Amino acid sequence: MAPSPTGEYHVGHIRTLLYNYAFARKNEGKFILRIEDTDQVRLVDGAVERIMEVIRDYGFSWEEGPDIGGPYAPYTQSERLDIYKKYAEELVSRGYAYRCFCSAERLAQMREEQKKRGLPSTKYDRHCLHLSPQEIEEKLKNGESYVIRQKMPDNETIVFKDVVYGEISYNSQDLDDQVLLKSDGFPTYQLGVVVDDHLMEITHVMRGNDWLPSTPKHMLLYKAFGWEPPVHIHLPNLKELGSTKKLSKRFGPVSAREFLEEGYLPEAIINFLMLLGWNSGTKQEIYSLDEFIAVFDPEKITKVDLVSFDRAKLDWMNGQYIQKMDLGELSEKLLPFAPKTAKLEELKEIVPLINTRMKKLSDFSELCGFLFQSPDGGEDLSDDDKKHISKAQEALSNLETWDLDAINTSLMKAVDENSFKTSKFFMSLRLAITGHKITPPLNESLVILGKEETLARLKRST
């Protein structure tokens, strides 16, 4: 996996990482983390550390990487600039690339003129390709800034096979003489990824299908260097359900960290992502990571452009994992989502009431906030509500033993003696005690609240 530290790690990156990880583990390969930080303009301070942290938080670890080294170190591209320069110069000397001295102003003017002519896309006009050796030497002597561009062959058909999309062909006439090495000495993605994948002995490249248009350029570089290209596997990208747009913050979290902060369990998200673009051919939906590794086959990756990210389905799946979790472990995981005053022993009492009602850990606050803070008393209570509450207060105040059986018996006796409708009676109590119509089981909640707090809340509501 080769993240670029230009922002927060996207949940789609976790899906790509997952597929790479499963493939590597199944085939006794190695999982390598490489930091592609060559876009110095968009580099975000601290992003590398946050990316590595969130990958670990999702349960993954790597055998080689920037923090632990390995046989092909360094694993951060900004520390490999001499390597890229060497190979870029090699391409120039062999006629597969050339130096371009054009200024940013000239390039901007060139693109503007091409747009005015109605060209479907702008391409470099090869002005510097035709410089004589003497002109180039003169510019170098004068210290003029330059980039190194890939020289595309004329009218050549580039054919490569993708595991998912089959045989794909491009004509070189449609490809731009893209920059390989920037004037600051940093490579672009095109050069950096080809050189590093070869030197690090990467056998399979698995990435989003938005990189398909770059692949013919890479194939030409492999050919120029005389290297065997890796197997390519392009994955469908993720979109919002019912939309043609990629994931958007308007619909919910998009970064890998945000999902964890919302209270999704990493193992549930991983399970959900397994099924976004891959199908086992069975009806099985719940997979452990080991089960997925055992059955994962790139040949079964879906041949579509975009795969729907069904957030409701993720909620359901996360709820399934919460329900099956050990109650003690769930209590510990809920601590960050509970009020700061909450103690673990209190959560262990509460969890059995809500574990089947939660879709996310963050649901805890809405479901159980009333157990830690009394409602503000602004509930819209009718005269009937107040009558119910008064009788409940009277019944509960006489209890000597405050447990579930005693509370159940006392309240049902009040219902019977006053000919109340059970559902309306308990809804009135629910509003008075919690401030909400939907809560965990009410009587069990009263046990946790205690007699004094329960009676105080009932009194405030009458």
**347 phi/psi in degrees, rounded to 5:** -65, -35
What pLDDT score was predicted for residue 104? Answer: 95
The pTM assigned to this predicted structure is: 0.92
Q: Are residues 217 and 347 in the same domain?
A: no
Is 26 an annotated catalytic residue?
no
**Active site residue: 116, 249, 283, 340, which one?**
249
| pLDDT confidence of residue 257 | 97
317 shares a domain with 355: no
pLDDT (0 to 100) of residue 376:
78
Query: Do 308 and 415 share a domain, yes or no?
Result: no
CA distance 295 to 209: 22
Same domain, 276 and 135: no
Residue 106 domain flag: yes
225 and 319 in a single domain? The answer is: no
Question: Is residue 161 situated within a structural domain?
Answer: yes
For residues 200 and 345, membership in a common domain is answered with: no
User: Are residues 380 and 359 both part of a single domain?
Assistant: no
What integer best gives the mean pLDDT of the chain?
A: 96
Q: What is the CATH number of the domain that holds 415?
A: 1.10.10.350
Q: What is the pLDDT of residue 248?
A: 86
Residues 279 and 420 occupy one common structural domain:
no
In a domain, 413, yes or no: yes
Q: Are residues 363 and 307 in the same domain?
A: no
The answer to whether position 194 is within a domain reads yes
Q: What is the pLDDT of residue 185?
A: 96
Domain count, the chain: 4
Residues of the chain with pLDDT under 50: none
Q: Are 264 and 292 in a shared domain?
A: yes
Quote the domain boundaries for residue 192: 80-235
What per-residue confidence (pLDDT) applies to 377?
63
Q: Which CATH number goes with the domain that contains 282?
A: 1.10.1160.10
The reply to whether 14 falls in a domain is no
| In a domain? residue 305 | yes
Taking only the tens place, the pLDDT of each residue in 52-88 is 999 999 999 999 999 999 999 999 999 999 999 999 9
Residues 445 and 330 in one domain: no
CATH number at residue 135: 3.40.50.620
Residue 23 within a domain: no
